[in-house]
Amino acid sequence: MIPALRAMTTRLCALVCARRVRSVSPYSRVLRSVLGGCLLLMASASQAWQASIERDALGVPHIFGETDADMAFGLAWAQAEDGWEILEETLPYYRGEAARYFGREAAVTDYLIKWLGFWDVIARDYERALKPATRTYLDAFAAGFNAFAAQHPERVNLDVLPVTSQDVIAAHMFRHLLFYGFEQPITALRAETRQFEISDAPELPNTAITLGSNATAIAPSRSRDGSTLLMINSHQPLTGPVSWYEAHLQSGEGLNVMGGLFIGAPALGVGFSKHHGWGATVNQPDLVDIFVLDIDPEDDNRYRVDGDWLALEAFDIPIKVLLWGWLPWTVKEKGYRSIHGPVMKTDHGTYAVRYAGMDEIRQVEQWLAMSAARSFEEWRAALALQHIASFNFVYANADGVIHFVHNAMMPERTKGWRWDQYLPGDREDLIWDAYLPLEALPSVTNPPSGFVHSANQSPFQVSSEGSNPVISEYPTESGWPTRMTNRAVRGLELLEANTAISMTDFSEIKHDNAYSPRYRGHAFLEAIAALAPENPDETEALALIRGWDLHTDRDNRHAALGVCILLEEWQAERAGSALPDPRDTLHECMDSVRAVAGRLDPEWGVIQQHGRGDRTWPAAGGPDTLRAMYAEQLDEDDPFVTVVAGDGLYYLIEWTAEGKQTILGTHQYGSQMTDPASPHYLDQAEDFAQEKMRSPGFHKENRSPVSRRYEVSN
C-alpha cells in the first residue's frame, strides 16, 4: 500500500474505532466487520506478533512465542477463544463507561473510576512509569484480543473495540482495590451519620477478611522422604471476571510457567515453574485512611491544612447512562480532590481518602517479574518492587526453601494515632507518601517447624509456636489482621499432628472438610446444641446438631443444619454485628434446610451440588473448610444448593530429594468459560466434585494427547 494511502486509511480506521457502534442493526454488523479489518490493519501497521497454541485433551492452552510479547499475543487469543464474553462485559467497567451499556445501576462504578482518577493517572504515567519492554508486552496482549475479534466478528456483541494496553492497566488498578476491601470505608462514608470518631489513641481492632484462599508449603524437614511440597489453592467465584483461567506460558526468552489468571490479565496470579511456585491468599490490613477536612464555613470548596486555606480541586465527572434500554443520556457529577486524595462531600462532613496503591499503574510489571524469576532471590526481588498493594504469598522451591510474606503496600504512618479511625485533615504531617519496605513486613523463611500455612488469618499464626513472625516487632499503626479462620485453625492442627507428610497426606489435608472444635464458630454451635427442645421438631434438629462430627462428607446427614448454623455465625462475625439469637438461628436453619431438601437430615452431597446448568454432582466441603465450598440455591425450585465460589483451580506440587517434580491439579469446570456447547465447558467438573486430580501437562511427557495445535498472528 502507498504510505500516504495507508496513513489515511489508518486515520479512517481510528475514526471507525471511535464510533463504537452498539446497535445490532445490519448496518452495525457491517460496520463491525469494517472495524475488524481496521483493527488488523492498525495492528500490522505497528508490529507483527505470532504464537503457537497447543490444546491438550482437556482444552488447556499451552502457549509458545519466540518472544515474551509473541507469547502474550497468543495468551490473549486463547483467553478470547475461551472467554471473550467475559472480557467484553467487563471492559466498560474498567473504563468508567458501564452505565452507557448496562444502565443506571452501573453508574456508581463509573463514578468511582472517574472519582479516583484512574485514567488521568494512566494518561500521565503510562509512558514514563512503565518499562518499554512492559509496554511492548501489553501492546502484544491487547493486539491478541483485537486480532481475534477481527477474525471472529460474530463473537463481538458490544462496541468495546479496540482493546488497549491501558485497559489492561485500568483492570488491575480497579480489581486490586476490591481484593483488599477498599469499598468498606467508602460505604461507611456514604452512611447517614459519621461512622468513626477522629483518632486520639493508638489502639487497633481486628480486621475483617473476605471469603479467602489457602496456600501451604512443607519443607524437606517436615516431609516423609525429604520432598518439598506446595499447595496453591486460591478461592474465587467459579464464574465471571475473577474466576480462574488456566494456561501454560512459554517463550524463547526463557519463560516457562503454568498457573491461574483472570480473563483480561496478561500474567499469572498464582503458578509454578520447574524450579519453584507460589500461591496467594487475600489479606486485608488497614490500607485505607479517611481524613476529615476542616472546611471554611464561608466557602465549602476551601479546606485548612497547617493554618493555610487551600482550594479543593473540582472537576466534572460526565457519566453516560443508558435509559429505558436504548436512550443515551449524559449526567454530570462533580468530583473533588485535596492534597490527601479524592474527596467526598456528605451531610455529616467532607472527607478525603488516601489508600495503598493510589496512582500506582505498575502492578502488571510485578506480576510479570514474579513469573520470570528463576530463583528465590529473583522472586523476592520481584516482590520488593512493591507495585501490588496486598495479598499474602506462600513460596516453595526445589532447593527446599519455603517462605511466607504478608505482602502489602503498607503506608509509613505517623506513630501514636488511631489509624483505624478517621484522621484530622488539617495536619500535613499525617499525609503519608511512602510505604514500609518488603523486609519490614511480617514474613518467615525456612521456619524451624518446617511448614507455613496461609488461610486468610493473622500473619502471626501461620506456623508452629516459635516459627511465626512476632507481632510486637511490627508497627501497630498498620492494622495487621488478628482474626483466625477455620481453615487456618484446622490446617495448623493437621500439620502440627503430622511430622512426616507424604504427598498423599498433603492431598488429604487439602481436601479435609471438617470444622475444628477450636474454631471460633464452634462456641455458637455448642450454644445452640445446649438448648432445651420445646417441641418434637426442635428435638429432631437438636439431636442432629449434637450428633454432628463436624465433617461435611457427601453422605453426612448432620451437616446441612450444622453448616447453616456456622454460616450464620461466620456472616455475623464478618459484618462486625452481634451474634443472632441461638433459638431464632435454629428455627431459621430448620426452615432453610427443609425449604431446599424437604427434610432436616438430607445427605450433604444431595443438598450440595457442583456443576452448571442441569449437570451437577454431589460435593463435599463447606464454607471456611479446607475443602472450601460456598453454595447458593440458584433457582427456588432446585432441591439443592449449587457451589458458586471457593475451591476452583488448585495444584499440589512435589519436588523430591532427587529433583523430580510431580504436579497434580484440577479446575472447577474446564478451559472453556462461556460456551455451554464446548466439550471443555464442564469436562473437569465431575472429577473436581469427586476430588480427583490430574497432571496438568506442564512437563510434555505428562501431557494428555494434543487435541489441536495451531498458529495465531496478526
Given a cut of 80, whether residue 331 has pLDDT beyond it is: yes
Between the alpha carbon of residue 4 and those of residues 1, 333, 347, 539, the distances in Å are: 8, 43, 59, 86
Contact 134, 125 (CB under 8 A): no
Q: What's the gap between Cα 89 and its chain centre?
A: 17
d(Cα 714, Cα 712) in Å, to the nearest integer? 7
One-character DSSP codes across 541-586: HHHHHHT--S---TT-SSHHHHHHHHHHHHHHHHHTPPPPPHHHHH
Average pLDDT score over residue span 91-113: 93
Question: What was the pLDDT predicted at 573?
Answer: 86
Q: In 10 A of CB 448, how many CB atoms?
A: 11
Least-confidence region, from 178-187, 473-482, 604-613: 178-187
In one-letter notation, the amino acid at residue 561 is L
Question: What was the pLDDT predicted at 5?
Answer: 32
Counting every residue written for the chain, the total comes to 714
Residue, of 29 and 60, whose pLDDT is higher = 60
d(Cα 105, Cα 111) in Å, to the nearest integer? 11
Q: Where are the beta strands (DSSP E) in 340-381?
A: 342-346, 349-355
Q: 656-713: per-residue pLDDT in tens? A: 999 999 999 999 999 999 999 999 999 999 999 999 999 999 999 999 898 899 999 9
Q: 280-306: per-residue pLDDT in tens? A: 999 989 999 999 999 999 999 999 999
Sorting pLDDT into bands at 50, 70 and 90, what band is 16?
A: very low
Given a cut of 60, whether residue 36 has pLDDT beyond it is: no
d(Cα 278, Cα 549) in Å, to the nearest integer? 33
Kindly report the pTM of this predicted structure: 0.91
Average pLDDT score over residue span 640-650: 96
Contact 169, 361 (CB under 8 A): yes
Q: 159-173: per-residue pLDDT in tens? A: 999 999 999 999 999
Question: What was the pLDDT predicted at 325?
Answer: 64
Average pLDDT score over residue span 485-505: 98
Q: 186-199: per-residue pLDDT in tens? A: 877 777 676 766 64
For residue 117, is it left (φ>0), alpha (ψ between -120 and 50) or beta?
left
Given a cut of 70, whether residue 477 has pLDDT beyond it is: yes
Q: Average pLDDT, whole number, for the chain?
A: 90
Question: What was the pLDDT predicted at 138?
Answer: 98
d(Cα 585, Cα 571) in Å, to the nearest integer? 12
Sorting pLDDT into bands at 50, 70 and 90, what band is 203?
A: very low
Hey, do 213-239+274-287+365-510 and 522-646 end up sharing a CATH topology, with the first three levels equal? no
Domain ranges of the chain: 1-46, 213-239+274-287+365-510, 522-646
Question: What was the pLDDT predicted at 19?
Answer: 38
Between the alpha carbon of residue 37 and those of residues 26, 57, 83, 566, 714, the distances in Å are: 17, 33, 22, 56, 11
The sign one gets for the Cα dihedral 597, 602, 605, 606 is: negative
Contact 91, 20 (CB under 8 A): no
CATH of domain 522-646: 1.10.1400.10
Of 360, 385, 359, the C-alpha closest to 370 is 385
Given a cut of 70, whether residue 259 has pLDDT beyond it is: yes
Topology of domain 213-239+274-287+365-510 in CATH is Glutamine Phosphoribosylpyrophosphate, subunit 1, domain 1 (3.60.20)
Contact 699, 661 (CB under 8 A): yes
